[in-house]
Amino acid sequence: MGIKTAYRGYKAYDYLTPGEDYKAFPLTRWDWAGFYLLPLSAAQEERAARLARESVFIALHEHPTLTPADISQMPEMDRLGRESCDYEALSKSLLDCVFDNLMDGTCHIVSNGGWKFEDVVVDLGHRLCDLHHQDFLIQGKGVEDILRAHREGRIAWVPVLEGAAPIENELDRIDVLYGLGVRMMGVTYSESNALGSGLKEDNDGGLTRFGKEAVRRMNKVGMLIDASHCGPKTATDAAEYSEKPLIVSHIGARALWDSKRLCPDGLLRAVADKGGVLGVEAAPHTTMTRTRNTHDLDSFMEHFEYIANLVGIDHVSFGTDGLYGDHVGLHHLFAKSLATGDTRNRQAEYEEVPYVKGLENPTEASHNVLRWLVKKGYSDADIKKVIGENALRVLRQVWR
């Protein structure tokens, strides 16, 4: 609907007593960097408001949690497994569905290396318990949950794992994760695992035999496959081997910015040829371009337009990879486990930005993606495709 009428003021872990039941950290304001809206004319404002009401808006990749006001406390908070979903900030967004990638590379609850099965189950369990004590977010297990959220002024929340390392060599753990509500999982998260090669590796061996078995199992249970952090050959293998469309939930075009984090044209085409969707991301210092040499709304949308022109408007969407807090500071804290240093553009000099103006968090990004498309004169049909309908098409083919 574009207006989240069902929110009633619940804050994360309101059912517990902070300081008694869990260690509480002073949290930042969700709009700590301000709240920028791309200027529109009066007619464009009216059109944007109408499209927000009419369209199903899906964010394919986010981390909608609040960071501590002192970002240096983030590792300790994560170690306790109690990241706080920002329900209030989400209520100010245009989103009808958010794919929440939980702690991804910061998941060090029971281990220093992270990504153990117990790490992700504890993380997921805390978040599910909190979810079930509020009545704004709906756990998104199927397409009808997303459509219901749109009708009722709510948001469908879909838990996701960015990498499959926690399954180790156990295919049945895919079933367990699906049973716990996980509806999308990445093949690798930058580092290689039993399924294939991560994008930070110098040599990409492609999808392993076990990786092919895992892809087959995910197809069978109805779990969407994400190839965002894979090496290009591993990702291309996954697209070719999967019987169902897959997505690359948060990427950009390597042709515009030479970073391992972004996708070469061949991979973009391989995913689209299989019927999949490519989500453009906005995490700081990713979707930059040579024409801009900085990270902002225009450089981000330059990636969107490049990919849409390359593979077609039916195969592109958005996964801005945002959170509520100091994203740049978080990258510095977790540089090793997030592999930021191993994947950045090493050939280009650029000035670091403190935040990506217009895209700093999932709420701001949802407004400005729609506003930019309206301002540039995209048709209603194409706007509805890229903010939700393309993703819905794939979900209808994959989810059980």
pLDDT band at 347 (very low <50, low <70, confident <90, very high): low
- pLDDT, tens digit, for every residue of 96-141? 999 999 998 888 999 988 889 999 999 999 999 999 999 999 999 9
pLDDT band at 1 (very low <50, low <70, confident <90, very high): very low
CATH number of residue 161's parent domain: 3.20.20.140
Q: Is the residue at 27 inside a domain? A: no
pLDDT at 3: 74
Q: How far apart are CA 309 and CA 316, in angstroms?
A: 10
- pLDDT, tens digit, for every residue of 167-199? 999 999 999 999 999 999 999 998 999 999 999
Residue 257: domain span: 45-398
Burial 4-34 (b: 16+ CB within 10 A, else e): bebbeebebbeeeeeeeeeebbebbebebbe
Q: Is the residue at 5 inside a domain? A: no
Q: How far apart are CA 218 and CA 174, in angstroms?
A: 7
Q: Is the residue at 70 inside a domain? A: yes
- Amino acid (1-letter code) at residue 395: L
The number of folded domains in the chain is: 1
Q: Is the residue at 21 inside a domain? A: no
Whether 63 and 323 have beta carbons less than 8 Å apart is answered as yes
pLDDT at 351: 87
In terms of C-beta density within 10 A (0-12 exposed, 13-18 middle, 19 or more buried), how is residue 265 classed? middle
Residue 288, C-beta contacts closer than 8 angstroms, at least 6 positions apart: 257, 294, 295, 299, 345, 348, 350
Q: Is the residue at 29 inside a domain? A: no
Q: Is the residue at 31 inside a domain? A: no
Q: Is the residue at 259 inside a domain? A: yes
Q: Is the residue at 159 inside a domain? A: yes
